[in-house]
Amino acid sequence: MADVEVTRDGAVQTITLNRPEKMNAFTRGLHGELRDALKQARDPEVRAVVITGAGRAFCAGQDLTEFGETGDIGASLRETYHPNILAIRALEKPVIAAVNGACAGAGLSLACACDIRIAADSAAFVPGFIGIGLIPDAGGTYFIHRLLGASRAFEWMSSNRRLTAAEAHAWGLVSEVVEADALPVRAAELASTYAELPTRGIGMTKRLFDHADTSTLEEQLEMESQLQAAAARSDDFREGVSAFLEKRPPKFTGT
């Protein structure tokens, strides 16, 4: 059985972390397979990606039974976690985390690296790191303080408080909570809606928001003009305008 399962339904690729007996905790093997799955997601035919977990957890973070084998943790983070976090941000298409259960440590960082998070009502969000004397990694400090604001992010990550799905929704950490049984269907529905949007425009919007985190207004205005010029050269722009003028729904191809 693969540690990461990849399935395709039309333009939607679903990546399932598949170590249910270990709450889908990260091992070197899982990282490698996730890396391959994210490479497959670069296929232009894939226009939306879902990341979820098998069984009752989304991902419990680093497999603590493999912890002793990690040696130099800094090097291990650089070799295993960082490429996958960066690969998610570099995908020019929406990545949806369908958080089906416990989401802890670097599993929480993984969910937060995605563009959209929806959760099962049974999901729990747990910082984890400080509970074992570590600091947030795998982009946790970068994403969580942007999603929640510095004050709430610090308080949460340092308290190690277990957050319910309803609390995560109230905080804006997830955009939607559904009954656990309904999560796969809702994630597929949301992903196929995104897969029918102008994918290049979605990808460029993602890049712009990432860039906005560190840029000046002048730099952001410049990047917007460059990417808008590219968007205006897309087939989807032509189709969007034609459909509007012809008073019909657009049929975007992602080109």
Tell me which residues are annotated as active site.
82, 137
With CA atoms as reference, report the closest residue to 93 among 116, 71, 109: 116
Q: Determine, following the binding rule CB under 6 A, whether residue 105 of this chain makes contact with ligand LHQ.
A: yes
Contact call for residues 6 and 15 (beta carbons, < 8 A): yes
Coil, helix or strand at residue 255: coil
Counting contacts by CB under 6 A, is residue 102 touching ligand LHQ? yes
CA proximity to 50, closest of 114, 1, 104? 114
**Closest distance between ligand LHQ and the C-beta of residue 46, in Å?**
27
Identify the three-state secondary structure at position 185. helix
- Answer for which of 4, 33, 51, 129 binds ligand LHQ (CB under 6 A) is 129
Least CB distance to ligand LHQ at residue 26 (A): 7
Among 3, 33, 63, 115, binds ligand LHQ (CB under 6 A): 63
Q: Which of 11, 17, 23, 187 binds ligand LHQ (CB under 6 A)?
A: 23
**70 touching ligand LHQ, by CB under 6 A:** yes
Question: How far, in Å, CA of 169 to CA of 226, rounded?
Answer: 35
Fill in the amino acid letter for 13.
Answer: Q
Should residue 122 be labelled a site residue for ligand LHQ when binding is judged by CB under 6 A?
no
DSSP-H helix ranges across 124-182? 140-148, 150-159, 165-170
- Residue 128 interacting with ligand LHQ (CB under 6 A): yes
Give least dist CB 138 to ligand LHQ, A: 6
- Residue 51: strand pairing partners: 15, 97
CA–CA separation, 202 and 198 (whole Å): 6
**CB nearer to ligand LHQ: pick between 86 and 232:** 86
Site for ligand LHQ, rule CB under 6 A: 22-23, 25, 60-65, 67, 70, 73, 76-77, 102, 104-106, 124, 126, 128-129, 131-132, 134, 137
